[in-house]
Amino acid sequence: MPKTLFDKIWESHVVHTESSGSTLLYIDRHLIHEVTSPQAFEGLRLTHRKVRRPDLTFATMDHNVPTEDRFNIKDPISRAQIEALEQNCRDFGIKLYDLKSTQQGIVHVIGPELGLTLPGTTIVCGDSHTSTHGAFGALAFGIGTSEVEHVLATQCLVQKRPKTFQVEFTGQLPKGVRSKDLILKLIGQIGTAGATGHVLEYTGPAIRALSMEARMTVCNMSIEAGAKAGLIAPDDTTVQYLTGREFVPKAKQFDQSALYWKSLVSDPGASYDRTLTINASELAPQVTWGTNPGMVMDVTGVIPAPDKVPGISVRDAERAMEYMGLKPGTKIEDIAIDTVFIGSCTNSRIEDLRAAAQIFKDKKVNTKVRTLIVPGSQQVKRQAESEGLDKIFRAAGADWRESGCSMCLAMNPDQLQPEERCASTSNRNFEGRQGKGGRTHLVSPEMAAAAAIAGHFVDIRKWL
Amino acid sequence: MTPFKSHRGIIATLDRENVDTDQIIPKQFLKSIKRTGYGESLFFDWRYLPDGKHDPQFELNAPKFKGTTILVTRNNFGCGSSREHAVWALVQYGFKTIIAPRKEAIPAFADIFRNNSGKNGLLTIELKPEEVDEIFQMVARQPKAEMTINLEEQRVTLHLPEEISFHFEIDKVVKEHLVKGLDEIGLSLQKEAAIGRYETQSNAQAFWK
Ligand code: SF4
């Protein structure tokens, strides 16, 4: 029987299946960070259990870390959490990319960078955006802290087989339209629970044409459609990206691995539980207007009446508009912003920064706008600096920071004030996500950069 | 985990769709390295005014919902972040069960949230939209309305002057774990031999392990 990419990865990781269908699934890579792991280690200590495979477990600190004076964590509770991770990694023999490491960064940025993320593997992390790693054809998904403890103790997880959902993007993305727009469009179309219980597989020429970094942006936001994971079959682009990375097999073993990786495609005729086709050629830059990523529209759009929002109840649409301080009839391009955040595991990689830098070059950030540019990792930061991107950002009047999650979730000092409006390249526009009362609009890096310069949203296609 | 067999308690309603875990427990409370102390911070941004007083506008602050243990809400509850702190906060506030509707293809709960709930003895129940609507209407009419949840029989019963029952479906495995209060890690560790076998076999095939 023809198999999907998902079937192939799943079946090669089954340790045991119960008659109930409950499966013990082997985990190849376990990534951990400071926020969702302390209680898991506490659980191990209480039950006198060990970490089964510290060699398959990798840790970094990203959520809490300051992006200015990074070695000086002023908040004592944040500091305690960072110190707890250091202690836990020491006690259990786990490799930690700490603040002093030249490879520290957002967990979903450094995994691929280091070559920890490999096609055909299973990857988990106590973080919902673990779906990012699916861009390599890895089955990667977020788990809770109890499951983190389970993986630490057993290197396995108890799972029920999810359903599959193929989304084919035909055509080619038009100029000025990025992979961020492609995934936002999909979420707008199927809703934030549209893929719950499913693993999404993205296929079609528009996906094939994307770079690895752009694919990561797509898979990253799979969770915002409710999906368990996102997958893109490995191809030459994938193999090219992996070449020479630290944890990737070398020499002859690389060639053999590459052959295997490229076999990881859905067979012709393989069936999915659901399918959907979207024509990428027809897409426009997207801007979210509400309080979840499904509340999104073309940049050319106008805020609708609350009873005219498809798939969202009038009550929830009204609530969202009230929170966002928006009135029906307002053009997206007329919405003025106070802050721009370019960063997060969605859009903080070198290509994202290059794209933003192109827009900022020889221009100035609007005097009313605070602009924060936060590279996803120390490696991204060094690369950007070697290309002189930091100079472009600074010359434009933007703030160039150290790597971390930063204003994506505002656990560190980078936060919005109540009613401040932000154009953000991150993945969640939930109420209060970037600071209590803060208003978030999700966009691509180019759209964020253009908004920083204009002081309001602009259709980036007019600038190209 | 304490076994869950049946439970009777006061119902509270929260008439919102897509309640995300950032709302259930905002990020500033994720800095704790403990498993306790989250109940006070549940729904923090909705529950408290800037001066720290309870916001009378927020549903759960209504006197009629005092002492509630059963939350009835709308679809896609618990979406967003994987933070298990959301479940810890709901449990420590006093909730034993969350009920939400499955609306056609749209599930009652987000996947990771539902998983996290099961691991902490918090029962998540999916009912039909019309059943959830009925509960909303009845709770609006009768303050301090109570409900009994019988997990073994997969039934919820509303105690009004008359009694109304609804049947619910639940994954067999999740039910068994809840009813028996099983330690999942302990159970998986019993499969140690199979895990070891898998490791030996797969190591021979993959260069990166
Ligand atoms: S950048 Fe944002 S979404 Fe990504 S891991 Fe950090 S907090 Fe989570």
Q: Which of B33, B112, B185 sits opposite A154 (nearest CB)?
A: B185
Do the chains contact at B84 and A142, CB–CB below 8 Å? no
Pairing, β A57-60 against β A95-97: parallel
- In tens, the pLDDT along A294-306 reads 999 999 999 999 9
Radius of gyration of chain B (CA): 19
Q: Which of A144, A116, A123 is nearest to A230 (CA)?
A: A123
**Which atom of ligand 1 is found nearest the CA of A343?**
1
A276 touches chain B (CB under 8 A): no
- The model's confidence at residue B106, banded by pLDDT at 50, 70 and 90, is confident
Model pLDDT, residue A97? 98
Q: Find the A314 Cα to ligand 1 centroid distance in Å.
A: 30
B204 touches chain A (CB under 8 A): no
Model pLDDT, residue A444? 98
B96 touches chain A (CB under 8 A): no
**Which atom of ligand 1 is found nearest the CA of A348?**
1
Q: What is the average per-residue pLDDT within A241-262?
A: 95
Sheet strands side by side (includes A156-159): A14-17, A23-26, A156-159
Q: Find the B166 Cα to ligand 1 centroid distance in Å.
A: 40
* Residue of chain B minimizing CA distance to A116: B208
Model pLDDT, residue B162? 85
Contact A202, A229 (CB under 8 A): no
- Residues of chain B contacting residue A322, judged by C-beta atoms under 8 Å apart: none
B17 touches chain A (CB under 8 A): yes
**Which atom of ligand 1 is found nearest the CA of A428?**
3
Q: Where are chain B's structural domains?
A: 6-183
Cβ pairs A/B, distance under 8 A: 186
The distance from CA B84 to its chain's CA centroid, rounded to whole angstroms, is 11
Model pLDDT, residue A380? 98
Contact A198, A186 (CB under 8 A): no
Model pLDDT, residue B204? 57
* Alpha helices by DSSP H, A308-366: 314-324, 350-360
**Whether pLDDT at A13 is above 90:** yes
Q: Which of B26, B34, B184 sits opposite A158 (nearest CB)?
A: B184
**Whether pLDDT at B1 is above 90:** no
A368 touches chain B (CB under 8 A): no
Count of positions (residues) in chain A: 464
Residues 126-165 of B with CB under 8 A from A: none
Pairing, β B6-14 against β B68-73: parallel
Structural element, H or E, at residue A277? strand A274-279
- The model's confidence at residue B79, banded by pLDDT at 50, 70 and 90, is very high
Contact A378, A349 (CB under 8 A): no
Model pLDDT, residue A258? 95
Rounded to the nearest integer, the mean pLDDT of chain B is 94
* Residue of chain B minimizing CA distance to A127: B82
Three-state SS for A155-224 is: CEEEECCCEEEEEEEECCCCCCCCHHHHHHHHHHHHCCCCCCCEEEEEECHHHHCCCHHHHHHHHHHHHH
Which ipTM score applies to this complex? 0.94
Q: What is the average per-residue pLDDT within A414-431?
A: 97
Q: Is the dihedral of CA B98, A225, A378, A452 positive or negative?
A: negative
Model pLDDT, residue B205? 65
A414 touches chain B (CB under 8 A): no
B12 touches chain A (CB under 8 A): no
Model pLDDT, residue B73? 98
The Cα–Cα gap between A306 and A316 comes to 8
- In tens, the pLDDT along B194-205 reads 999 999 988 656
Closest approach of B142 to chain A, Cα-based (Å): 23
Q: Which of A427, A428, A433 best tests ligand 1's pocket when mutated (most atoms within 8 Å of CB)?
A: A427
Pairing, β A399-400 against β A370-373: parallel
Number of other residues whose CB lies within 10 A of the CB of residue A184? 27
Identify the DSSP state of A67. Answer: S
- In tens, the pLDDT along A90-121 reads 999 999 999 999 999 999 999 999 999 999 99
- Most B CBs within 10 A among A29, A45, A133, A146, hence the mutation to make, goes to A146
- In tens, the pLDDT along A41-78 reads 999 999 999 999 999 999 999 999 999 988 888 899 99
Model pLDDT, residue B104? 81
The Cα–Cα gap between B52 and A417 comes to 18
Model pLDDT, residue B209? 62
Do the chains contact at B27 and A409, CB–CB below 8 Å? yes
Q: What are phi and psi of B58, to 5 degrees?
A: -80, 130
Q: Is A407 exposed, middle or buried (0-12, 13-18, 19+ CB in 10 A)?
A: buried
CA A435 → CA A294, A316, B2, B137, B180, distances in Å? Answer: 20, 21, 36, 35, 41
**Whether pLDDT at A226 is above 80:** yes
Percent of chain A with pLDDT over 70: 100
- In tens, the pLDDT along B41-69 reads 999 999 999 999 999 999 999 999 999 99
Rounded to the nearest integer, the mean pLDDT of chain A is 97
Percent of chain B with pLDDT over 70: 97
The Cα–Cα gap between A106 and A85 comes to 15
> What amino acid is encoded at B93 in this protein?
Y
The four Cα atoms A5, A7, A11, A14 give a dihedral, to 10 degrees, of 110
Do the chains contact at A410 and B27, CB–CB below 8 Å? yes
Q: What is the average per-residue pLDDT within A244-268?
A: 95
- The model's confidence at residue B161, banded by pLDDT at 50, 70 and 90, is confident
Q: Decide: A30 in ligand 1 pocket, CB within 6 A.
A: no
Angle between helices A145-154 and B111-119 (to 10 degrees): 70
Q: What are phi and psi of B38, to 5 degrees?
A: -100, -15
- Most A CBs within 10 A among B188, B191, B192, B197, hence the mutation to make, goes to B188
First to last CA, chain A: 48
B32 touches chain A (CB under 8 A): yes
* Residue of chain B minimizing CA distance to A146: B119
| CATH T-level assignment (fold) for domain B6-183 | Aconitase; domain 4 (3.20.19)
**Whether pLDDT at A127 is above 90:** yes
Do the chains contact at A249 and B17, CB–CB below 8 Å? no
A449 touches chain B (CB under 8 A): no
Do the chains contact at B106 and A191, CB–CB below 8 Å? yes
Q: Which of B20, B28, B172 sits opposite A430 (nearest CB)?
A: B20
Q: Which of A241, A181, A229 is nearest to A202 (CA)?
A: A229
Structure tokens at B32: 């704790």
- Residues of chain A contacting residue B191, judged by C-beta atoms under 8 Å apart: 15-16, 24, 154, 156
B203 touches chain A (CB under 8 A): no
Structure tokens at A419: 């009613």
Contacts of B148 (CB under 8 A, 6+ apart): B6, B7, B8, B156, B157, B159
Q: Decide: A405 in ligand 1 pocket, CB within 6 A.
A: yes
Identify the DSSP state of A416. Answer: P
Cα diameter, chain A:
65
